[in-house]
Structure 1
Amino acid sequence: MQISVEKRDGLEHRMTVELPAEGFEQTVETRLANLARTVKMPGFRPGKVPLRIVKQQYGAQAQKEALDEAVQSSLYEAFNKENLRPAGAPSVEFLPLEEGKGPKYAVTFEVMPEVELADMSGARIEIPVAEITEADVDKTIDRIREQRQEWKEVERAAKDGDQVMVDFVGTKDGVAFEGGTGSKVPLVIGSGRFISDFEKGVEGASAGDVRNIDATFPEDYGNKELAGQTVQFEITVGAVMESVLPEVTDDFVKELGVEEGTVEALHSQVKENMERELKSVTREITKTNVMDALIEKNKIDLPQVMVKEEMQRLARQMENMLAQQGIPMPKDKPMDPELYREQAERRVTLGLLMSELVNKEGIVAADDKVREAVEEIAAPYEDPKEIIDHYYGDRNRLAEVQAVVMEQAVVDWILERAETVENKTTFEEIMQSRS
C-alpha cells in the first residue's frame, strides 16, 4: 500500500492511497466467479453462464463493490500508518484505474488539532459571593403572596400597580391595524405587558373614561410594520382594581403545603430553597467564568466538520423545542444552523480542551461526588430516596449526572490553580444575572 499525504489550509489534509493490484484483481475475479454460480440469463441454465458474459454484464458492479471494500479495509489502516486522527467522516474520491495497477483513491479530511494546554495559574477568575438576608427572604415571600393576589374593584383613578379593564381600538393614518383592537383586556399598570405610551395613557383614568392617545412602538417591536411607528388609540376604561395580597398567617402557610403550618416554618423553608438556588446559580456563573478563562488561555484551530455537526444539532434541538410548544418550523424553511455558529464553536472548543485536560491530568467523576449530586437533585422532592433509586436504576440518567460531575471536577481543578477573586454581590443581583 502506497500512501502520500498533502497538508492543506488549517486542519485539512488530502491523502492518496494506492493498493496492490494483485489483491484487488483477485477480489474482483472472486466476486464475478461467485456471481456466475447464481446469475440467471436467458438461454443459459443457472450457474452455467460463461464467465466472460458475466464479466461483460456485471464487471462494473463487481469492480465498484471491490473498490468500496478496499476503501473500508484499508482507510483506517492508512490513517494509523500515517499517525493521523480524522476529526470526522472523510470525503472519498476514486481515482481512475490504470492498466496493471491497483485501485487508487483520495480522501479529504480534517485532523484533530494538537492541543497544548496552557498553564492556568496565570488566569484570573471571578467568583460571585452573596448572603441571603432577611429582606431577601421577605421579598421572596411577597412574590409568593403576589402569585395568590386577588383584585378588588375601587372607585378612584388608576395608579401604578392597579389592574384596569380596557377596550381599545388602534388606528394608523385613520385605518385600524391588525392586532390593535381589544375588548375587556386586563392591564396591570407598570407591568410592561403593553407598550409604555399605552400604559401611561391609562394611568390616572377612572372607570368610564375615554382617552385618545398617540403611542409609539419600540424600534425592536416584533411586528416590523409597526416598529418605530406612531399610532392612535381610543381607550375606554372599565373597572379599576387594586391588588389585595393574602396575609401571611398559619392558614396561608398550610395552603402552601408547609407541613408544620407555621409562619416560622415557611420562612425557614423559603430560605432553605433560596440557599439551594443560590448555590446552583453561583456554581453556574463560576463555571462560565472558568470556561471563559480556559478558552482565553488556549487558542486552538477548530475542525469545521465538528463545528458544522454541532450547529446542525443545535438547530434540530431548537426545532424540536419549538415543535413541542406548538410552533413547528415550515418544512421548506428549516432552522438556519448558521444562527448557532458562535455557540457551536464554543462547545467544540470546550469539548476538545476538557477532553485533553481530563486525559492528561487523570480527572475523574468520583463516586461520592456523583452520589452527592444525585442527592442534591432529589432533595426538593417529597420522597428523595425514590428519586435517588430512580437515578441509580437508570444508566442513562446516571450518566448525565456523571457528565455534570466530571465537568465540575474540571472546574475545581482549574480553580485550585488559578487566581480567584471574590465578587461580593447580592442574592437579587445573582438571580437577575441568570435571566
Structure 2
Amino acid sequence: MKSAVETLSPTRVKLTVEVPFDEVKPNLDKVYRQLAQQINVPGFRRGKVPPMVIDRQVGREAVLEQAVADTLPAKYSEAIEANDLTPIAQPEIEGPEIKDDGFEFSAEVDVKPEFELPDYQGVTASVDDVEVTDADVEEQVQALRERFATLSDVERPAADGDFVVLDLRATQDGEPVEGAEVSGMSYQVGRGGMIDGLDEALTGLSAGEDRTFDSQLVGGDLVGQSVQVSVTVSQVQEQELPEVDDEFAELASEFDTVAEMDADIRERLARGKRLEQAASARDAVLEALLDRVEIPLPESMVTDELNARRQNIEQQLAYAGVTMEKYLEDEGQTVEEFEADLDRRTREAIAAQFLLDEVAQREEYDITQEELSQHLVRRAQQSGQDPQEFANHMFEHNHIPDLVREILRGKALATIVEAATVTDGSGRPVELANLRPDGTIGEPEAEGDDADAGDAGGSTTYVAGGADETGEADEADEADETDESGESGETEGDEQTS
C-alpha cells in the first residue's frame, strides 16, 4: 500500500491511498465464500459454488466493489498510522476508484493541530480578593427569616412582598389555551419568574377580585404568542418575619446566640468564596497559558461545537420558559454580541482541550481504576443519574475512552495550576493545592454544606457537559460552559470510516 499526504490547512489534510490487488484478495475470497452460502445454483451444493459461477450470477464488478468496501476502512487506518496523523473527525472519502491492479481512494480529514507547547511551569495570574461583607451576612440571615416566616390573611389589597393565592387562565381569541390554567397557587407579589405583567396585575387586588391583562406564553405550543390572561385572587396574605434574637438563632440554627449564628454564616460564606476564588484562579491560569500559544482550530469542529452549545442554550431557555429575545433583553446583549461571545468561549474551550491533551501526553500520566470509578460516579451525579446505570451506558456505547481523556485533561490542568503562582488583589497568595484528580476544586470540609453558604467551586470557563451557558439563576454558573476537564463533548480520534 502506498499513501501520500497533502496539507490543506494547519488542521486539515488530504490523504491519497493506493491499495494493490493482493491486499484486497483476502476480502475478495471472503465475499465469494459468503455469496456461495447465500445463492442457489443448480448442480452445486450450497457453499460450493465456484467464483466463476458467482461472477456470472452476481457480477464480478459487484463482488469486487464489496471486497473493496470491506478493505477500505482498514487501509484508511493503516495510512493514518503510517503518516503519524491524529484525526479528530470522520473523513470525507472520495472514491474508491477500482483499477485492474487494485484500487485508489482519497480522504480529507481534520487532524489534531501541531503547535509548540509553551512552558507551563510557573504561570502567574491574579484574581479578586475574597471578601465577606456585612451585607452578605445580612442576606443570608434574611433568607433564614423568610424560611421561618408565617403568613396571615389580611383584608386589604395586595402589595409588593405579599403572598396571594390565585387562579390563572389564558385565552386566545376568546378560546381557552390548553394547559394554560392554574388553580390555588401561592405566589409572592414582585417575585417575578412567571409571565410578564402578572405582578402589575396583582398589585392592588383584594381577595375575590380579578383582572385581565395581555401577555405572552413562556411554554407549550404557543410559546411567545400573545394571549389574554385572567387572574383571580382568593387570598391576600402578609408575611410576618421573626425577630432576629437568640430565640430565633436557636430555632433556625444549631447555635444559642445570634452572634454565634452570624459567625458561622460568615465562615461558611468565606469558605464558599474561597472555593469560587480557587475556581477563578484555575481559569485565570489556563487563560494566561493560552495567551502564550497560538493553536490552529479546525473550523468544522468549531462549527459543530457552536451548534451544540447554541442548541443546549435554546433547550435550557425553553425549559425555563424564557424566550431567546427575553434572555438577550435581560442580559443587555444584541444577537450579534451573543453570537460573538459564544464563538469566543467555544474557541477558548477547544483550544484548552488541545493544550491540555498536549500536556497530558508530555507528562505521561497513569490512570487508576479508582480514579475512573470516582469520575464515573461524579459524572453520574452531575447528570442526575444512577451511577451504575450511567456506568453501564458508558461501557455499552464505548464512551470510556472519552472519560479517560477527561481525567487526563483534569490531571494536566491540575499540574499546570499547582505549579502556578496566583495572587489576589491584595497581593496575597491563593491556595490551589486542593485540586481533585479530574481538575475540579474541592475542600473536604466544605462538601455537603448548605447551599446558602455559597458553596460554589465546580465551574470554570474551560472546564463541559451540560453546563448552563444562559446564566439563568440557580441553574449553573454563567461561565461553566465545558465539563470539569476541558471536554466540550467532541469525540476525538475516531479513525474508522462508517
Superposition TM-score tier, normalisation by shorter sequence? 0.5 to 0.7
Measured in 2, the distance between the counterparts of 1:251 and 1:128 equals: 37
Q: Could you say which residue in structure 1 is the equivalent of 2:96? A: 95
CA contact (8 A) 2:130 2:274 kept: no
Corresponding residue number in structure 1 for 2:470: none
| Match for residue 349 of structure 1 among 345, 348, 351 | 351
Alignment deviations for residues 174-222 of structure 1 (CA, whole Å, 9 cap, x no partner): 979869987766553432356786645655x474696979x7869x999
Answer with 1 or 2: which has the greater Rg. 1
Question: Is 2:242 the counterpart of 1:246?
Answer: yes
Per the alignment, residue 407 of structure 1 pairs with: 413
Residue in 2 aligned with 1:283?
278
Partner of 2:110: 110
CA 1:365–1:313 in structure 2 vs 1: closer, same or farther (change >3 Å)? farther
Q: AA paired with 1:353?
A: L
User: CA offset at residue 241 of structure 1?
Assistant: 3.0
CA contact (8 A) 2:365 2:408 kept: no
Alignment of 1:284-299 (within 5 A): 284-299=279-294
Q: 1:276 to 1:254 in 2, by over 3 A?
A: same
Once the two structures are TM-superposed, the CA of residue 21 in structure 1 deviates from its matched residue by 3.2
Question: Does the 8 Å contact 2:360/2:408 carry over to 1?
Answer: no
Q: How does 1:307-318 map to 2 (within 5 A)?
A: 307=302, 310=305
Query: In structure 2, what is the equivalent of residue 147 of structure 1?
Result: 147
Relative to structure 1, the CA distance from residue 188 to residue 404 in structure 2 (aligned partners, 3 Å threshold; closer, same or farther) is: same
Q: Give the Cα separation in 2 of the matches to 1:274 and 1:123.
A: 28
Q: Is the CA contact (8 Å cut-off) linking 1:307 and 1:345 kept in structure 2?
A: yes
1:404 is displaced (CA, Å) by 4.7
Residue 43 of structure 1: aligned partner? 43
| Distance (Å, rounded) in 1 between the aligned partners of 2:308 and 2:83 | 31
CA distance in 1, matches of 2:106, 2:301: 21
Q: 1:333 corresponds to which residue?
A: none
Which residue matches 2:192? 192
Match of 1:246, SS state, is coil
Q: For residues 337-378 of structure 1, what are the alpha-carbon distances to aligned partners after superposition, in whole Å with 9 as ceiling and x for unaligned? A: x99876554432211122223434x396999xx9xx99xx9x
- Percent identity of equivalent pairs: 23
- Tell me, in whole angstroms, the C-alpha distance in 2 between the residues paired with 1:279 and 1:27: 62
Given that 2:15 and 2:108 are in contact with CA atoms closer than 8 Å, whether structure 1 keeps it comes out as: yes
Structure 1 Cα separation of the partners of residues 28 and 102 of structure 2:
11
- C-alpha change, 1:403 and 1:422, in structure 2 (3 Å) is farther
Residue 301 in structure 1 maps to residue 296 in structure 2: yes
Q: Match of 2:98, SS?
A: coil
> Which residue identity lines up with residue 84 of structure 1 in the other structure?
L
Instruction: Quote the Cα distance in structure 1 between the aligned partners of 2:366 and 2:271.
Output: 22
Segments of 5+ residues of structure 2 without an aligned counterpart are 322-338, 379-394, 429-452, 458-472, 479-498
User: How many Å separate the matches in 2 of 1:38 and 1:184?
Assistant: 69
> For 1:254 and 1:402, how far apart are their aligned partners in 2?
47
Looking at structure 1, the residues matched to 288 and 145 of structure 2 have their Cα atoms a distance apart, in angstroms, of 41
Q: Match for 1:143: what amino acid?
A: A
More helix by share: 1
Contact kept, 8 Å, 1:115 with 1:353, in 2: the verdict is no
Could you tell me which amino acid in structure 2 is paired with residue 54 of structure 1?
I
Task: Answer whether contact 1:125 1:421 (CA < 8 A) is retained.
Answer: no
Could you tell which deviates more after superposition, 106-115 or 187-196? 187-196
1:74-125, CA deviations, whole angstroms, 9 ceiling, x for partnerless residues? Answer: 32332233333322232333333223x2221211211211122456899984
Corresponding residue of 2:13? 13
AA in 2 matched with 1:151: L
Query: Which SS does the other structure have where 1:97 is aligned?
Result: strand
Contact 1:365–1:406 at 8 Å: present in 2 too? no
Task: Report the equivalent of 1:53.
Answer: 53
Report matched runs for 1:188-337 at 5 Å. 188-193=188-193, 199=199, 203=203, 205=204, 207=206, 224-226=224-226, 239-247=235-243, 258=254, 263=258, 266-307=261-302, 310=305
CA deviation string 1:195-254 (max 9, x = no partner) = 786645655x474696979x7869x99954449xxx8x9877665432212345666556
- Contact residue 363 and residue 409 of structure 1 kept, 8 A: no
- Unpaired runs of 5+ in structure 1? 328-337, 378-394
> Does the 8 Å CA contact 2:157/2:207 hold for their aligned counterparts?
no
Question: Equivalents in 2 of 1:238, 1:23: separation in Å?
Answer: 83
Superposed displacement of residue 65, structure 1 = 4.2
From the superposition, tell whether residues 352 and 254 of structure 1 become closer, same or farther in structure 2 (CA, over 3 Å).
Answer: same
TM-score using structure 2 length: 0.57
> In structure 1, how many angstroms separate the alpha carbons of the residues matched to 2:266 and 2:407?
26
Cα distance change of structure 1 residues 236 and 23 upon mapping to structure 2, 3 Å threshold: closer
- Letter of the 2:297 partner, please give it: L
In 1: Cα distance, 2:206 partner to 2:32 partner: 93
Q: How many equivalent pairs are there? A: 385
- Asked if 2 retains the 8 angstrom alpha-carbon contact of 1:354 and 1:410, the reply is no
Structure 1 pair 53–226 and aligned structure 2 pair: CA distance change class (3 A): same
Once the two structures are superposed, the pairs formed by residues 60-139 of structure 1 within 5 Å of their partners are: 60=61, 62-99=63-100, 101-118=101-118, 125-139=125-139
Within 2, Cα distance between the matches of 1:41 and 1:166?
A: 80
Distance in structure 1 (CA, Å) of the matches to 2:118 and 2:78: 33
Q: Which residue of 1 aligns with 2:436?
A: none
